[in-house]
Amino acid sequence: MVRTTSIEAYLARLYVALERQFPDDDELVRRIVAEAEDHLREAAERNRPGSSPDAAERDAIRQFGSPQRVAQRFARELKGRLSPLGLLVRSYLYVGMYVGSVLVAAGAALLIVGVFGALFGAAEVFGLDDPPAVSGTKASCEQWPTYYQPDQPGTNTVIDCEIFAAALAASFSQFSESLFQTWSLLLGGGGIVVGAVIWALHRGLLRWHAGVWDDLSGPARVYVIFGALSFGMAAVSFLQGIPSSGGTSLYWTGAAALVAALFCVAYAREGWRMWVAR
Amino acid sequence: MRPELLKGNLDLLLLTILSEQPAHGYAVIEELRARSQGAFALPEGTVYPALHRLERAGLLRSHWSDAEARRRRVYQLSGLGQEALEARHEEWQAFARSVRLVVEGV
């Protein structure tokens, strides 16, 4: 039975760790492993006087560092310094994916609205069209006396059916508006959720491609600013969907702007920190 | 010595050692340790990434050598690396002089 030495086991783990960092560059991985093997065998030979072969190999490995640490160091040194053009292109691709995903989420929501509208009648259910013309008869008016209060409060008598029809149309319009706000909530909320997921994925992707987060270069910072802006826009969309009445709408608009601003400041701060750390 | 003190100067150290003669990674690390009298005993696996980075930047060249019992990757300074070494050496001298002025007043 062939005995596996400590160095061989270490090199196997190093290969796996490097493969994770450089999945598309097998030549580089093999070169690093070959250099590591040369180094470890040389170090083990030098450690051998006074030590057992196993102990000498273990010492050599300890001095070299863990496979994960070595692989991460390579990633930091080599991937954090991609050519500016390469990282620029890659970052904008990510921006496109990010913004595109939010748009897809918005489009999907609108599609659902359209399908439901086709099935149940857009005007009656979802308020996408103008409310239908209301023409009430005396009898139909009398069925809905509470929609119109005549000049004498306290009575439920319908005096003028035309006035009642106008009141009903206005009521329908309010109802439609309410539904639209509901969809804004869903749309904006969905956009935020999708945006957050995509943001996390992209952050991971960038870390994977460009090494540790602190080593990202300028174009990646452009990406975070774009991410912040689109995330902020989703937040605005969400908050605008919250029903408001009277002067409170101003508060909601202000809150939406505040949320967007906070995101922008947070990401800009991170960008600045990365810039300083370079 | 705290590792962060070495951060930013590792390139200068590696370029200096390789400016004298081509060497493989292990020899570079040994030379670094010997010349610093053991002060720069870095985790050895962290030196290779720096060598690779310097090579990618065009400051070093490398090739496989079969001259010894084992096949080894030998690094040597490029023309661009020589220029970079001179520039960084001057920067470091100016920096060290300034630090000494502040800390020791001389």
pLDDT at A130: 45
**Are the Cβ atoms of A74 and B24 closer than 8 angstroms?**
no
pLDDT, tens only, A179-211: 556 666 666 666 667 666 766 665 665 555 544
CB A232 within 8 A of CB A212: no
Output the pTM of the full model: 0.51
DSSP-derived 3-state class of residue B74: strand
**Are the Cβ atoms of B73 and A35 closer than 8 angstroms?**
yes
* Amino acid in the structure at residue B65: S
- How many CB pairs below 8 Å do chains A and B form together? 62
Q: Which of A62-66, A119-123, A245-249 has the highest mean pLDDT?
A: A62-66
Give contacts of B50 with chain A, Cβ < 8 Å. 77
A173: pLDDT strictly greater than 90: no
- Which residue in chain A has the smallest CA separation from B30? A43
Average pLDDT, stretch B86-91?
Answer: 92
Best residue in B54, B55, B60, B70 to probe A by mutation, most A CBs within 10 Å? B70
Residue among B45, B50, B53 whose CB faces A65 most closely? B45
CB B29 within 8 A of CB B48: no
Residue A7: name the closest of A77, A80, A58, A63 by CA: A58
**Are the Cβ atoms of B53 and A77 closer than 8 angstroms?**
yes
Categorize the per-residue pLDDT at B52 as very low, low, confident or very high, splitting at 50, 70 and 90: very high
Only one residue has tokens 């985790």, namely B43
Nearest-CA distance from B41 to chain A in Å? 9
DSSP states of B21-69 as a string? S-EEHHHHHHHHHHHTTTTT---GGGHHHHHHHHHHTTSEEEEEE-SSS
- Which residue in chain B has the smallest CA separation from A76? B49
pLDDT at A127: 39
**Are the Cβ atoms of A38 and B24 closer than 8 angstroms?**
yes
